[in-house]
């Protein structure tokens, strides 16, 4: 059977080997397969040594699913690409250069907020724990204005507070800087080069939801992770500036690293960062509600995508356990 150009492109960017060919503990993976439905899993993809070596999908095929807050990490990548293209000057650029509600604020702290403050969730806005104002923002007529008009209660750069309003403002900044929606910009500068064709992203007033709303397949998520693992290079082209990836995937704040169960970690620039253990080594990850993970583990030269039916925030520990107790040991680096 002849492969379509799309399939050839995907196999080139994400080549396939069997778990056995890759030297993985394929028996451990096969045993796990029987347990995945009971764990509420929807999709699991494992990339090792730059090849797709194992995958499982609840429906038997890889379908686009909601990324939930993993969307934030994709937005971070896009902002890095825009910085590399000179559309943005970098993390220290003032957000008010692009956002009128911040520019006209009488609070100097709002006028001086930087892209770094928003990326690291240290902008200092009053925003209740675990993003509770997000739903009020979604009910508002203008999400950007709603987020920007919240009062500043902490000195910017000091206190971590998870805030999807900041993510949405970053999406608006990307739109202002590029003249395109985040989705259109991604299609040209990220999804297109990676052969990602089945993507959808919710929007409001021409601005894609910066905090959530992106839908991708698990293999396409794995391509994004592999691109990051390769320090932003694709086919000899530096798609994402390596310095941007280095800055955004290092811890800027201890954030929720002490939260129990251990589903979060330190916070970087719209990526979570984890010290890991001896087997996994340090890794960074995109995290979405209820147990959606895109994990990039440099020591293992591996990427893992885990998608789970949301069943409450803390049930994300099921996905983390799957990574630490099954996927990592299957790579031959654990026990």
pTM value is 0.96
Alpha-carbon span 100 to 95, nearest angstrom: 9
Predicted local confidence at residue 6, as pLDDT: 55
Using the predicted structure, report yes or no on whether residue 3 has a pLDDT greater than 50.
Answer: no
- Portion of the chain with pLDDT greater than 70, in percent: 96
Predicted local confidence at residue 190, as pLDDT: 98
Predicted local confidence at residue 130, as pLDDT: 83
Cβ neighbour number for residue 34 with a 10 Å cutoff: 8
Mean pLDDT of 18-42: 94
Q: Phi/psi class of residue 99: alpha, beta or left (left: φ > 0; alpha: ψ in -120 to 50)?
A: beta
Per-residue model confidence as pLDDT tens digits over 94-141? 999 999 999 999 999 999 999 999 999 999 999 998 898 999 999 999
- Range(s) for CATH 3.40.710.10 in the chain? 5-66+218-330
Per-residue model confidence as pLDDT tens digits over 272-331? 999 999 999 999 999 999 999 999 999 999 999 999 999 989 999 999 999 999 999 999
Which class for 203: exposed (0-12), middle (13-18), buried (19 or more C-beta within 10 A)? Answer: middle
Using the predicted structure, report yes or no on whether residue 166 has a pLDDT greater than 70.
Answer: yes
Looking at residue 231, the DSSP 8-state letter turns out to be T
Alpha-carbon span 284 to 199, nearest angstrom: 23
CATH superfamily, with its number, for domain 5-66+218-330: DD-peptidase/beta-lactamase superfamily (3.40.710.10)
Per-residue model confidence as pLDDT tens digits over 232-288? 999 999 999 999 999 999 999 999 999 999 999 999 999 999 999 999 999 999 999
Q: How far is CA 77 from CA 239, 248, 293, in A?
A: 10, 9, 16
């Amino acid at each position: 059977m002849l492969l379509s150009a799309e399939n050839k492109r995907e196999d080139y960017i994400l080549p396939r080997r069997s778990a056995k060919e890759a030297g993985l503990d394929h028996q451990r993976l096969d045993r796990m397969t029987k347990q995945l439905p009971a764990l509420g899993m929807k999709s699991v993809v494992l990339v090792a040594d730059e090849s797709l070596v194992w995958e499982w999908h609840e429906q038997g095929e890889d379908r686009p699913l909601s990324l939930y807050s993993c969307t934030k990490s994709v937005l971070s990548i896009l902002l890095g690409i825009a910085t590399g293209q000179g559309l943005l000057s970098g993390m220290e650029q003032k957000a008010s250069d692009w956002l009128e509600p911040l520019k006209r604020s009488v609070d100097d702290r709002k006028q001086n907020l930087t892209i770094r403050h928003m990326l690291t969730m240290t902008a200092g806005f009053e925003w209740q724990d675990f993003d509770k104002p997000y739903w009020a923002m979604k009910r508002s007529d203008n999400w950007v204005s709603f987020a920007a008009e919240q009062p500043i209660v902490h000195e910017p750069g000091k206190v971590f507070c998870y805030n999807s309003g900041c993510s949405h403002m970053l999406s608006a900044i990307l739109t202002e800087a590029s003249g395109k929606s985040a989705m259109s910009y991604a299609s040209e500068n990220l999804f297109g080069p990676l052969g990602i064709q089945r993507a959808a992203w919710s929007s409001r007033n021409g601005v894609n939801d910066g905090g959530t709303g992106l839908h991708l397949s698990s293999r396409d998520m794995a391509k994004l992770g592999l691109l990051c693992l390769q320090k932003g290079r694709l086919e000899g082209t530096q798609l994402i500036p390596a310095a941007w990836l280095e800055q955004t995937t290092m811890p800027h704040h201890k954030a929720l690293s002490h939260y129990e169960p251990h589903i979060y970690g330190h916070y970087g620039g719209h990526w979570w960062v984890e010290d890991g253990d001896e087997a996994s080594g340090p890794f960074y990850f995109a995290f979405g509600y209820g147990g959606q993970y895109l994990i990039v583990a440099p020591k293992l030269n591996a990427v893992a995508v885990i998608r789970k039916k949301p069943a409450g925030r803390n049930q994300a520990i099921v996905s983390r356990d799957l990574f630490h107790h099954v996927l990592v040991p299957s790579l031959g680096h654990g026990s």
